[in-house]
Amino acid sequence: MKTRITELFGIQHPIIQGGMHYVGFAELAAAVSNAGGLGIITGLTQKTPELLANEIRRCREMTDKPFGVNLTFLPTVSSPDYPGYIKAIIDGGVKAVETAGNNPVKWLPVLKENGIKVIHKCTSVRHSLKAEAIGCDAVSVDGFECGGHPGEDDVPNFILLPRAAEELKIPFVASGGMADGRSLVAALALGAEGMNMGTRFIATKEAPVHENVKQAIVAASELDTRLVMRPLRNTERVLRNAAVDRLIEKEKTLGANIKFEDIIQEVAGVYPKIMTEGTMDAGAWSCGMVAGLIHDIPTVKELVDRIMAEADTIIRQRLARFNAG
């Protein structure tokens, strides 16, 4: 399938694997790229630029296809060494960067000078237009359904994607709630040039996370995620568990007076405990509503091939049938 996104990144299928903390290691990124999509290493999961450089090297050993790196710009007190991470990306010959969080304008010139294509993840049309204006090559439009940070506007993809299509000139992919061939065809119908998946890629054989995480996603329904940290204007969609119930109780009790310190136990440093050790109640971890559509743990290649075959059947048979009628 050829779209503006496959052309932009030099990939076979219009499928991107979004950056995921403690999930987006070289193994997953390489598997997605080898299957014809765009795999993404999560930059900040690597604690130093040197470790990111090493992760890029490891990924390069596992695939000769294009892959990218996610750079998440968070409003943290002590800023990570972004110039160091960007140097590792450039020196590592990576040609695609997924930015997320704050406006990436400060870092665009150096990325572009080095021939790197930038796709910025946005949860609103407003921010997507800003990304276009500052020179991003593409946008990943992340609807309210998404795992992770859906922003504060709560606009689901059935509205957000066609609104983005009305306004944007640069290509965009649909992100949030994407799982299968139906998602891809729907995304294309709504104006996107492909799709970005997070949660779906965790439940694959190659995802380098504890088996408990994969089983939790398969067991979950579309009703099992919760929004947390809204009072802090840092809303995150997570899978419900004991820690999340406790966090929500604190939010109810403390109301507008809540501070990050009040919930630190439920959110800080929990990813290694969950993703690596499989301690599922250790804290709040991002998961999309799309868990309700995830029923198995295939290899990445099986998943991508199935998506493309299903998309093809829907377009050629189901949709063509309506057209003929």
Ligand X SMILES: Cc1cc2nc3c(=O)[nH]c(=O)nc-3n(C[C@H](O)[C@H](O)[C@H](O)COP(=O)(O)O)c2cc1C
> What are the CA-CA distances from residue 259 to residues 248, 264, 284 (Å)?
13, 9, 16
Q: Can residue 92 be called a binding residue for ligand X (CB under 6 A)?
A: no
The stretch among 57-65, 124-132, 193-201, 220-228 that binds ligand X (CB under 6 A) is 193-201
CB 257 to ligand X: min, Å: 28
Return the percent helix, strand and coil in the chain, to nearest 5: 50, 15, 35
The stretch among 130-138, 191-199, 242-250, 253-261 that binds ligand X (CB under 6 A) is 191-199
CB 317 to ligand X: min, Å: 26
Q: Which of 23, 31, 188, 263 binds ligand X (CB under 6 A)?
A: 23
Q: Which of 38, 59, 131, 146 binds ligand X (CB under 6 A)?
A: 146
Q: Which of 38, 280, 290, 300 binds ligand X (CB under 6 A)?
A: 290
Residue 52 vs 178, nearer CB to ligand X: 178
Residue 113 vs 190, nearer CB to ligand X: 190
Residue 268: DSSP 8-state: T
Q: Can residue 241 be called a binding residue for ligand X (CB under 6 A)?
A: no
Residues 6+ positions from 57 with CB-CB distance below 8 Å: 92
SS3 sequence of 203-255:
CCCCCCCCHHHHHHHHHCCCCCEEEECHHHCCCEEEECCHHHHHHHHHHHHHH
Can you say whether residue 146 is alpha, beta or left, with left for phi > 0 and alpha for psi between -120 and 50 degrees? beta
Q: Nearest 5°: phi and psi at 42?
A: -85, 110
The helix/strand/coil state of 176 is coil
Q: Can residue 224 be called a binding residue for ligand X (CB under 6 A)?
A: no
Residue 43: DSSP 8-state: G
Residues 6+ positions from 202 with CB-CB distance below 8 Å: 20, 23, 209, 213, 214, 217
The stretch among 123-131, 138-146, 220-228, 309-317 that binds ligand X (CB under 6 A) is 138-146
Q: Which of 20, 28, 160, 164 binds ligand X (CB under 6 A)?
A: 20
CB 20 to ligand X: min, Å: 4
Q: Nearest 5°: phi and psi at 298?
A: -80, 175
The stretch among 52-60, 175-183, 248-256, 305-313 that binds ligand X (CB under 6 A) is 175-183
Contact 272, 22 (CB under 8 A): yes
Residue 139 vs 258, nearer CB to ligand X: 139
> Which stretches of the chain bind ligand X, using CB under 6 A?
18-21, 23, 42, 70, 72, 100, 121, 142, 145-148, 175-178, 196-200, 285-288, 290
